[in-house]
Amino acid sequence: MKNLIVKNFLSQFKNNFELEEEQEDVLFEQFINYCVLNNHVIDSERNFQDMDTGTAKAIDGIAILVNNKLVLNEEDLNVLIKNNNILSVDFVFVQSKTSPSFSDADVNYFFKHVEQFICNYECSISELEKFWELKNIIYENSHLFRKGNPNCIMYYATSSPTTEISSDIEDTIKYGLKSLSDTGLLSDYIDFNPLGVKEIQRLYRKIDADLEASFRFPKNVSFSYDGDKITSAYFGLVDISEYMHLLYDDETAGVKNVFEDNIRDYLGIENNEVNSNMQDRLKHEEAQLFGILNNGVTVVADEIKPVGEKFHLINYQIVNGCQTSNVIFDNYKSLKEKSISLPIRIISTKDEETKNEIVRATNSQTGLKPEQLDSLSNFHKMLEEFYNSKNSLHEKSGEFDVCVYYERRSNQYRNEAIPQTKIINIPKQIKAVTSMVLDNPHGVSGHYGTVAKKVKGHIFQDGDYAEPYYASALLLYRVETFFRKNRDYRQFTRMRWHILMAVKYLSGYSPKYLNSRDSYKFSNEIVKKINTENNANQLIIKAINHINIMINNEKLDLEDRKVFERKETTDKLKKHLRELNKEEIH
């Protein structure tokens, strides 16, 4: 890699995710997947490793987005199909080359295999089998393509200093796009994005950059406040065409990542009466009444800079109005000629508690269920403080070689020099504690939203001890680190959630309740046993060995991709470990 800036970005990326990869071309593939995914997906569980296609030569990364959700397995997809009357699909493909120029043959090869993926029912590239099966299920439910066929977005990255390409490559791209269009299986939105070093730099910088937008807001009234919690606040009406500046992402032609702090997802239109009525009102001849009949939106920003009628927002989030915003976005093309105003309030504050109060107040007025305010609860604040106190104790004792940090709000550690691998967000916490304590490692392989529904009422409850949450998170970090550093064991990565449960049983414990004294006791014991990487690795290898013994004894197929998604596998592992404990006792 000759470009010094991208070379430095690669180094930052490697350190931030504690990657052991020494081959620059493989690291570059992971880096590009990371850049593309984080610019495309509005999802707190986005993970560039979920795009990885292994040794597949033609395609280095695939992301399948359904209704703006990153789909990880069949269960995720089936939940979306069951709960929605419409499927909006994006197929995102990535090919990365460290070569300093674009190759006509490689571009052609990329297009050829993307078309194979889209058109062929039978998987012809074994490394893509998981993605292929998801694609087939999507097309089997094509009656739900009410907005149109799936979109197809391709990224082809090189270390070229320019994206100027030869006429031969231009012809290859035109032919490839036409060929994909002629399949009749995709929408009109089929996009090919060549990435050179300048484009790569822009994508990478955008990930951690403050979200900024400017819009005209002439009909506003300032709210006077003498305290120091709120810097400034404005209320008023904004034209929908101006409001779109807060939503539209020029890079991806999608919605900006402005709903991270909004605690409910977009519910769609066809299966939601309120949103359907909103759309009908927008399309009605009296659409101007929309602003009168709508509660409006609330935007919180770190800074608001008004200059005359123009307002500039820095690091902003739409904390109330997710449904309204998405309905407007989905219908904007038909609204451009209409003069529609929307009630809006914009508030500038950097105080976390004030932000939480604003989110609570604005959402509690709109029929939000109490459990949907979970991310703002005192329990999560308590967990964050518990993690911090553990870190302080471990640093003082000198007996632990790592600290992990609980992230109860998205990007709260963005400006701190903490590797991403050591940050435990709510999705990771849910999966870790569900696997280790609740004995449900088979149920956590999909999107955390699906998992959260399964364990609702069993986690994050008043009376739960913080120790099992911390212990499961620390153990998850140890397991992920083990697989990053030990190539010979990477074939067992899919059993990582079962390893968490196995370590509990191998330590002589089997409690399943987060509020039990036994759970408190075993969690502290496990934390002591994994205080160093070497000690943790011994336990992890022991767990892997016993999982393999069970698989052989039960004649299960380790090559079966779904073997660790079945309850049957978990039950057989628990039986094996319990019998092992009885033998050791006697």
> Could you tell me the residue ranges of all domains in the chain?
4-208, 212-364, 370-584
pLDDT at residue number 292: 87
CA atoms within 13 A on the CB side of 360: 13
Q: How far apart are the first and last CA of the chain?
A: 60
Residue type, 283: K
Residue type, 337: E
Rounded to whole angstroms, the Cα distance separating 384 from 45 reads: 19
Tens of pLDDT along the chain (586 residues) come to 788 999 999 999 999 999 987 789 999 999 999 999 988 876 666 789 889 998 888 899 999 999 888 888 888 888 888 877 789 899 999 999 999 999 999 999 999 999 999 999 999 998 999 999 999 999 999 999 988 999 999 999 999 999 889 999 999 999 999 999 999 999 999 999 999 999 999 999 988 777 899 999 999 999 888 888 899 999 999 999 999 999 888 777 777 777 765 545 566 666 667 777 888 888 887 888 888 888 899 999 999 999 999 999 998 888 888 888 888 888 888 887 788 899 999 999 988 778 778 877 776 544 444 444 444 467 888 999 999 999 999 888 888 899 999 998 777 887 788 999 999 998 899 999 999 999 999 999 877 777 878 888 889 988 999 999 999 999 999 999 999 989 889 889 999 999 999 999 998 877 678 988 888 999 999 999 999 999 999 999 999 999 999 999 999 998 888 899 999 999 999 999 998 877 654 3
Rounded to whole angstroms, the Cα distance separating 348 from 342 reads: 19
Residue located via tokens 């690795």: 537
Rounded to whole angstroms, the Cα distance separating 202 from 208 reads: 11
Cβ(456)–Cβ(440) below 8 Å: no
pTM: 0.80
Burial 14-50 (b: 16+ CB within 10 A, else e): beebebebeeeebbbbbbbbbbbbbbbbbbbbbbbeb
Strands of 399-523, DSSP E: 405-407, 423-425
Rounded to whole angstroms, the Cα distance separating 426 from 404 reads: 13
Closest CA to 496 of 406, 428, 553: 428
C-alpha dist (Å) from residue 23 to 6, 51, 93, 492: 15, 18, 22, 22
Would you mind telling me the total number of residues written for the chain in this entry? Answer: 586
**Dihedral sign of CA atoms 50, 197, 415, 480 in order:** positive
pLDDT at residue number 423: 94
Based on the number of CB atoms within 10 Å of its own CB, is 12 exposed (0-12), middle (13-18) or buried (19 or more)? exposed
Cβ(399)–Cβ(485) below 8 Å: no
Cβ(108)–Cβ(168) below 8 Å: no
Q: Which two tokens stand for residue 553?
A: 């004894």
pLDDT at residue number 377: 64
Residue 211 DSSP one-character state:
P
pLDDT at residue number 368: 40
Cβ(13)–Cβ(26) below 8 Å: no
Cβ(35)–Cβ(204) below 8 Å: yes
Residues 6 or more apart whose CB falls under 8 angstroms from that of 481 comprise 18, 421, 533
pLDDT at residue number 263: 45
pLDDT at residue number 508: 83
Cβ(43)–Cβ(259) below 8 Å: no
Rounded to whole angstroms, the Cα distance separating 475 from 484 reads: 14
Cβ(448)–Cβ(413) below 8 Å: no
pLDDT at residue number 266: 62
Residues 6 or more apart whose CB falls under 8 angstroms from that of 115 comprise 176, 179, 180, 183
Residue located via tokens 């100027």: 164
Q: Which two tokens stand for residue 373?
A: 């305010």
Cβ(469)–Cβ(522) below 8 Å: no
232-239 and 219-222 as β-strands: parallel, antiparallel, unpaired?
A: antiparallel
- Bridge partners, residue 65, by sequence: 70, 90
pLDDT at residue number 364: 53
